[in-house]
Chain A
Amino acid sequence: MKRTAALVPLLALIALTLMSAGAQAIRVTGQILAYQDGYVFFTTGDGFRVAPAIVLKDAKTGGATALRPGPRLWALATFDASGSVVELDLSLTALAPQGNFALVKRYAIALSSPFPNPDLAQAPAIPGRPNMVFTGRQVVVVFEVRVPPTTPLEAIVYITTDASGWNPQAIPMQRIDALHFKVIERLVSGTIFHYLYTRGSFASEERSEGGLEEHPRTALVSDADSQVYSNIVYRWADEAMPGQVIQPNVFPTPYNPAPFPNLPPGIHTPHP
C-alpha cells in the first residue's frame, strides 16, 4: 500500500513531464501581422505572448537569420507549455502548413470576452447562387452572350470591364453561331468583375431593351471549378435605326440615301 502510494506522485510527475513535452511540441505556421510590445500577432488576429528569450531562426536552413519579425513575414512558431512563443522560424515566402491555430487558440491574449457578431450570421442559401468561398484560386469563367438579330454577321463582340479600365476592346469574343458569342477567361476567385458588351467602341456598346445606357453587369468569381455567365444584349448603341450603322471616325461621313453606296461610276442613275 505504501509502495503504491509512493508511486502516485511518481506517475503524476511522469504524466506532467509527458504533457509538458507534448505542449512544447506545438508548432504552428502562420503569417505575422505584427510583432511588438512583447507579443506576436498572426493574420488570424490572434496575439501571443513572446518569451523573453525567444529564438529567431531561418525557417529554410534552421540557422541564424537576419530577418526581424514583422508584418507579412511567414513564421513557424513554437509554443511552450505556458503558451508563450519561444521560437520563430522566419521566412519571406509562405511555409508549408504545419499545426493548427485551433490548438493554440487558448493561448491567445484578449482582454474582453468574445461575443457573436450578427454581421457574420449565416446567410440563407439562395438557389442558383454559387457557393461564396474565396481562396484566390484560378477559376475558368465562361461568358456567353446572345446578341440582337440586327447585329451584322461580320461583327466582333468584346467584353469591356473595370478590370481593364473599361477598354472597349478588352476581351474579344468568338462567334459560335448567328446570335451567340462566347469567351473563356481565367479569373481569380473572389474577383468582382463588372462588365458590358461592346462591338469595339463605346459608340457601339450594348443598350438596355428600352434603348438606354445599360448598367454594368457584376460577376463574382467563386471557388467553383468553373462558372458560366449567360447574358442577352437587346440593342447596340449605334443602331440609330435598323440597318444603319454610324461610323463617326470615318470622313467623309457615309451619307447616301441610295441603297448601293459603291455602284460602278458608269451605271446610269435612276430616272423616270
Chain B
Amino acid sequence: MLLAACAWERAEALTTLRLHADRIAFFYDRFLVEADGHVVVHTSDGMEIRGDAFSMDLKLNRFIVAGNVQVLAPGTQLSGAAFSDFLNFRRVYFIPILAEPDRWTFLNGDFAHPAKGREMPGDTFDFPDIGHRPDLVSRAAVIGANSYVRFERVTSNFFGLPVPLPAFYVSFAPTPALARNSLSGANLDLTYQFAGNANSISAVHLRYDATNHAYASIEQHLAGAHDYAVFSVNPLTAPAKFWNLMTGDTLSTRFQVDTFTQLYTYQYGLAEPLAAAQYTYITASEALPRWSIQGFANLTNFNLLGPGAHAVFANGQTVGELNHPSQVQITASSFQERIFGSPFYEQYFFGTGFNHDSYGTGLQQYGGVTYTTIWNQLVGFSVSLPELTFGNRNSAYDRYVLSGSFTKERQWYSVPHHVDVTTLVSTLSRQITRTVGVYAGYSIVNTGDYYLHGGYSISSPIINGVYAPGFEAFRGVATQRTFSFATNYTPSPEFTLSLLYRHHDDFPEPVPGLFPLPHLNPLGQYIYPSFLGQPPNDLTGDLHVRLAPHISVDIARTDYFGFATLKWSPTFIVQVSQ
C-alpha cells in the first residue's frame, strides 16, 4: 500500500514488454491486461519469462506471471510458481521451487543475489477481480511501461459485436503530450489508433458533425520529453479539407512556444485545389515572478492561389479575397493577488501590438486615410470575488455563495479612437439538496468605441428596410445585460440534467432579421456565444448520460421563445465522448 501510494512519485525507467499468449484480454475501464495460456514475456532489459497466466495493471505498472514459471535473466535461469515485477520500484518477487518452495526478492535488477525470505507486500500476487467482458482480445501485445500498449491481431468488442482489427494502440501516459489533437469539435468521433509507441501515435478518426456529416480524418502525433507535434487532415474524405499542424516546445522551465497552422484547401481527392487559405498563430509564453508575458503572432492568407480562386465554405462563408492580414500582440499579466487578506483578488494586464493588412482597402478607412497598419496599446485590470459564503455555514444545503468578477480594459489605436470594455459578472448559488443545485446570475458587458473626432453618426431608425429604433441613439456604445437562472439535477454521477434560462436586455435592442447571425461551428453552435442582436430570451437544456465507463453522450438544445422565425437553435447538439 505504501508502495502504491508513492507509485507516481518515483522516477521510472521506460521498460518495454513484449507479450505473447493464447489469449490476451484488455479491460479499458481499469487498464488491465490479462493473458492466459503459453504466456511468454520478453522485457527490454533482456529477460524472458514463461508461464501459464499473466496479469498487468498498466496504471500501477506491475505485472505477474504465474504457473510453471521459467525465468531467463542475464546470467541466471530459474523455475518457480510465480513472478511479480513492480517496475516502478525495481523489485521482483519470485516463488522459486527448489527442493521446496521459497520466497525470494530481487532488488534493483540484481538476479545474482536474491534476498531470500524477505517479506513481500500483501498484494504481490493478487489477480484483479473482473466481472465483465474484455474490450478486446488479441494474441500479442507490446507494453511500454507507464506509456502505451499496442495489441496485434485484435478482435475488438464494439457494442457487443466482434470486430477484427490488425492492431490497436492505447496510450495511458500520465501526460497529454501525445494526445493533443488538432481536430475541430465533432458530434461523434470514433478513433482508431492503429500504430504507435512511446513517442508517436497514428490514428484514423471516423467522425460526424452537423456541417460535414460523416467523414474520415487522419492524425499523426509525435512527442518528446519537452516538445510535441500533431499533424492532421480533417476531413480527409470531403472536398473542404483542413490540414493542421500543431507544435509545442518547452524551451526552459519558464519559456515555451506553441504554434498552430491551418491550411484550408477545397479540392476533390488530391486534385489541384480550387481554393486554398492559410492561418498560422504562434504563441510564446515567459513566466516571471508574479507576472507572465505572452507574445502572440497571427498570419492569415485568405487566398494562396491568386486571383480567381475561390470556394464556398461548408458554413456558407467564401474565400477568395487576396487579403493577408497579420497581427502581433505582446501582453503582460500579473498573477491574481489577494487584496489585503480580503476575499477579493486583483489582476492587472497591459500590452501593445499591431494589426496589418496592406491589400485592397486596408484595415480601416477614416478621415480619407487608408490605414494598413493599426497599432494598439492595452491596459486593464480585474477584481474577482471567488467565493463569499453566507447563510447557515454548518449546512451544505442552507448556505449561499456569492461569486463574481469585474474587468475593465481600454485599448487605444493609432486610428484616433479607443475602445473601453467593462464586464461585470455576479452569481448567487445554492445547493438545495444533494442532487439539485441552482444559481442566479447577472452580467453586464459594456463596449464603447470612442473616437477623438466624430465617430459613429446618427443612423436612420430604418436600416435595410427594417425599423430599428435603437440605432437612432447608437453612438458606438453597446451594452449587453443578461440575467441567468440555472439549475442542475444530478441524481447519480452517470446522469446530469441542466437547464439554463437567460434574459438579455441589450442595447442596441435586437430586431429580428437585422443583425447578421454569427456563423456556426462544426457542431452547429454559433461561433460567438454572445452577440449583438441575440434573441432576448433563451432556454437551454443539456442532458449528459454516461452509457458505459468510457462512453457518454451529451444532448443540448436551445429554445429562443419564438424570436420572429427563430424558434429553436439550428440543431440538437449531440456529442458522444469516448
Residues of A205-220 contacting chain B, CB below 8 A: 205, 207-213, 215-216, 218, 220
The answer to whether the Cβ of A264 comes within 8 Å of any Cβ in the partner chain is: yes
Residues of B511-550 contacting chain A, CB below 8 A: 514-519, 521-522, 527-533, 544, 550
Docked CA distance A33–B173 (Å): 30
Measured CB to CB, the closest approach of chain B to A164, in angstroms, equals 6
Chain B residues with CB below 8 A from A148, complex form:
336
Most buried by A among B5, B365, B403: B5
Measured CB to CB, the closest approach of chain B to A16, in angstroms, equals 27
Contact yes or no, A248 B279, CB < 8 A: yes
Residues of B101-122 contacting chain A, CB below 8 A: 101-105, 116-122
The answer to whether the Cβ of A97 comes within 8 Å of any Cβ in the partner chain is: no
What residue of chain A has the Cβ atom nearest to residue B462's Cβ? A266
What residue of chain A has the Cβ atom nearest to residue B105's Cβ? A117
Contact yes or no, A252 B277, CB < 8 A: yes
The answer to whether the Cβ of B349 comes within 8 Å of any Cβ in the partner chain is: yes
Partner of A45, one of B125, B405, B521, B575: B125
The interface size bin for chain A is: 35 or more
The answer to whether the Cβ of B135 comes within 8 Å of any Cβ in the partner chain is: no
Partner of A210, one of B122, B285, B464: B285
The binding surface of chain B is classed by DSSP as strand
Docked CA distance A77–B46 (Å): 38
The answer to whether the Cβ of B4 comes within 8 Å of any Cβ in the partner chain is: yes
Interface segment, one of A5-13, A55-63, A82-90, A191-199: A191-199
Docked CA distance A266–B459 (Å): 9
Contact yes or no, A240 B117, CB < 8 A: no
The answer to whether the Cβ of B176 comes within 8 Å of any Cβ in the partner chain is: yes
- For A126-163 the 0/1 string (1 means CB < 8 A from B) is 00000011101000100000101110111100001011
Contact yes or no, A112 B407, CB < 8 A: no
Residues of A231-264 contacting chain B, CB below 8 A: 234-235, 237, 239-243, 246-255, 257-264
Chain B residues with CB below 8 A from A115, complex form:
117-119
The answer to whether the Cβ of B485 comes within 8 Å of any Cβ in the partner chain is: no
Residues of A156-188 contacting chain B, CB below 8 A: 160, 162-172, 174-180, 183-186, 188
Chain A residues with CB below 8 A from B561, complex form:
none
The answer to whether the Cβ of B1 comes within 8 Å of any Cβ in the partner chain is: yes
Tell whether A180 pairs with B463 under 8 Å between CB atoms, given A196-B176, A262-B518.
no
The answer to whether the Cβ of A99 comes within 8 Å of any Cβ in the partner chain is: no
Docked CA distance A37–B80 (Å): 9
Measured CB to CB, the closest approach of chain B to A198, in angstroms, equals 9
The answer to whether the Cβ of A113 comes within 8 Å of any Cβ in the partner chain is: yes
Partner of B125, one of A43, A120, A163, A241: A43
Contact yes or no, B463 A267, CB < 8 A: yes
The answer to whether the Cβ of A114 comes within 8 Å of any Cβ in the partner chain is: yes
Chain A residues with CB below 8 A from B336, complex form:
148, 209, 234
Measured CB to CB, the closest approach of chain A to B504, in angstroms, equals 12
Chain B residues with CB below 8 A from A185, complex form:
493
Docked CA distance A217–B131 (Å): 30
Contact yes or no, A179 B476, CB < 8 A: no
Docked CA distance A112–B387 (Å): 61
Partner of B425, one of A123, A149, A192, A218: A149
Tell whether A212 pairs with B454 under 8 Å between CB atoms, given A174-B488, A250-B521, A252-B319.
no
The answer to whether the Cβ of A52 comes within 8 Å of any Cβ in the partner chain is: no
Docked CA distance A75–B68 (Å): 19
Interface segment, one of B12-20, B156-164, B326-334: B326-334
The answer to whether the Cβ of B218 comes within 8 Å of any Cβ in the partner chain is: no
The answer to whether the Cβ of A22 comes within 8 Å of any Cβ in the partner chain is: no
Contact yes or no, A240 B296, CB < 8 A: yes
Chain B residues with CB below 8 A from A265, complex form:
464, 516
Chain B residues with CB below 8 A from A29, complex form:
none
Partner of B329, one of A34, A123, A165, A241: A241
Kindly count the residue-residue contacts between A and B in the assembled complex, taking CB atoms under 8 Å apart. 423
Chain B residues with CB below 8 A from A109, complex form:
100-101
Chain A residues with CB below 8 A from B67, complex form:
33-36, 70-71
Measured CB to CB, the closest approach of chain B to A60, in angstroms, equals 17
Tell whether A211 pairs with B5 under 8 Å between CB atoms, given A242-B331, A250-B519.
no
Chain B residues with CB below 8 A from A140, complex form:
493
Chain A residues with CB below 8 A from B101, complex form:
39, 41, 47, 109-111
Measured CB to CB, the closest approach of chain B to A139, in angstroms, equals 10
Chain A residues with CB below 8 A from B132, complex form:
none
Chain B residues with CB below 8 A from A186, complex form:
492-494
Contact yes or no, A264 B514, CB < 8 A: yes
Measured CB to CB, the closest approach of chain A to B450, in angstroms, equals 10
Chain A residues with CB below 8 A from B468, complex form:
264
Tell whether A47 pairs with B81 under 8 Å between CB atoms, given A176-B429, A209-B292.
yes
Chain B residues with CB below 8 A from A194, complex form:
8, 174-175
Tell whether A177 pairs with B459 under 8 Å between CB atoms, given A170-B577, A255-B300.
no
Chain A residues with CB below 8 A from B363, complex form:
257
What residue of chain A has the Cβ atom nearest to residue B489's Cβ? A174
Chain B residues with CB below 8 A from A200, complex form:
185
Tell whether A152 pairs with B53 under 8 Å between CB atoms, given A202-B180, A268-B457, A271-B366.
no
Contact yes or no, A45 B124, CB < 8 A: yes
Docked CA distance A169–B552 (Å): 10
Docked CA distance A259–B1 (Å): 58
Contact yes or no, A270 B417, CB < 8 A: yes
What residue of chain B has the Cβ atom nearest to residue A193's Cβ? B59
The answer to whether the Cβ of B224 comes within 8 Å of any Cβ in the partner chain is: no
> Can you report 24 residue pairs joining A to B where beta carbons are below 8 Å apart?
A39-B81, A114-B119, A119-B89, A166-B171, A176-B429, A177-B403, A180-B387, A184-B490, A194-B8, A202-B180, A211-B285, A218-B8, A234-B335, A242-B333, A251-B262, A251-B277, A252-B300, A261-B528, A262-B516, A262-B528, A264-B468, A264-B516, A270-B366, A272-B454
Nearest 6 A-B pairs (CB), nearest first? A210-B287, A166-B179, A149-B405, A112-B117, A154-B529, A71-B53
14 other contacts beyond A167-B577, A200-B185, A268-B456, with CB at 8 A cut-off? A41-B125, A121-B2, A153-B482, A168-B181, A174-B437, A180-B386, A192-B60, A196-B176, A211-B286, A240-B329, A242-B349, A253-B300, A262-B517, A268-B459
